[in-house]
Structure 1
Amino acid sequence: MSQISDCSPRLRILIVDDHELTRLSLQLLLACQKNLQVIGLASNGEEAIKIVKSEPVDIIILDLEMPVMDGWITSNYIKSISPQTQIIAHSSLTETFWESAKLTGNFDAVSNKDISTSELVTLIRKLGQRLHHGNHQSSNDPTQIHGFSH
């Protein structure tokens, strides 16, 4: 797995998914990683927004299909109140839907849920580097697409 130096700042991560097993599995994975701290778990977009409003979040791993408020609406709202927060769209949608996500969502990266754990950790660290180097502008063309065979 990827390692970063001791002087790297700790990345504060929020996991948002309506499936408890996914949330807890990601939390367990990230708890074992140096300089990554899971600061919250949310089961829908409304819960995620409450957390973002109450404390700083560097990176959000965000499911797209959730009850109450989906990932597309959530990403747009979070970027409006916290534009520096990096958002990974993390879903099991097909590649066709990802093309739509790139056009309609406010995501910094996208990954399929079958991404390897090492790839997900690497993606999180890349977004963290971008965040801490001041290049945190999101665009309609996410920088990373993982988990698809092209």
Structure 2
Amino acid sequence: MLSCQNSTLRVMVVDDHELTRFSLKLAMQGQKNIELVGMASNGKEAIELVERCHPDVIILDLQMPVMDGLSASNHIKTLDPNVQIIAYSSVENPQAEIRNAAARIDAFCKKDAPTQDLIALVKKLGESVKID
């Protein structure tokens, strides 16, 4: 059966380090069926972009100035409960931090993970958004 559903994943990157944002931008732009719809440097900017860009998946740094990723995740999920959020961090034990903050995170990826692992995770979470 043919489907008219758009299979392009709309991805947003949120990190306070410019080099990380730029690197992830390049990694996402090189992928078929992934569209980078926004980049933000803190949680407050991320919330504003979610309202305008409607991403399917967000790669969200946990530790940022202005508003951290843990706080931002709760606001974002209130705006769009279906958006999938990947906590992207160098924190040693992020699962405990995420639990303690009662953050609404769908997956976790350490910043030292291979880029292809992060891309695979984005695609996997994106599939669940597109199926719903």
**In structure 2, what is the equivalent of residue 91 of structure 1?**
89
With structure 2 as the length reference, what TM-score do the two structures score?
Answer: 0.91
The answer to whether residue 9 in structure 2 is matched with residue 14 in structure 1 is: no
Instruction: Please give the alpha-carbon distance, in whole angstroms, between the structure 2 residues aligned to 1:100 and 1:54.
Output: 29
Kindly tell me the number of residue pairs found equivalent between the two proteins.
Answer: 127
CA contact (8 A) 1:11 1:58 kept: yes
Instruction: Please give the alpha-carbon distance, in whole angstroms, between the structure 1 residues aligned to 2:77 and 2:67.
Output: 15
CA contact (8 A) 1:8 1:35 kept: no
Instruction: Please give the alpha-carbon distance, in whole angstroms, between the structure 2 residues aligned to 1:8 and 1:115.
Output: 29
Moved over 6 A (4+): none
The one-character-per-residue Cα deviations of 1:16-68 (angstroms, maximum 9, x if unpaired) are: 00000000000001100000111111000111111111121111000000000
Where does structure 2 lack aligned partners over 5 or more consecutive residues? none
CA contact (8 A) 2:62 2:87 kept: yes
Superposition map of 1:1-150 within 5 A: 9-95=7-93, 97-103=94-100, 104-134=102-132
Q: 1:129 to 1:102 in 2, by over 3 A?
A: farther
Instruction: Please give the alpha-carbon distance, in whole angstroms, between the structure 2 residues aligned to 1:8 and 1:117.
Output: 25
User: Which amino acid letter does the alignment assign opposite residue 48 of structure 1?
Assistant: A
In angstroms, what is the RMSD of aligned CA positions? 1.3
User: Which amino acid letter does the alignment assign opposite residue 45 of structure 2?
Assistant: E
Q: CA deviation at 1:98?
A: 2.4
How many percent of aligned residue pairs carry the same amino acid?
46
Q: Which has the higher helix share?
A: 2
CA contact (8 A) 1:61 1:87 kept: yes
Instruction: Please give the alpha-carbon distance, in whole angstroms, between the structure 2 residues aligned to 1:31 and 1:106.
Output: 27
Which has the larger displacement, 46-55 or 60-69?
46-55
Where does structure 1 lack aligned partners over 5 or more consecutive residues? 1-6, 135-150
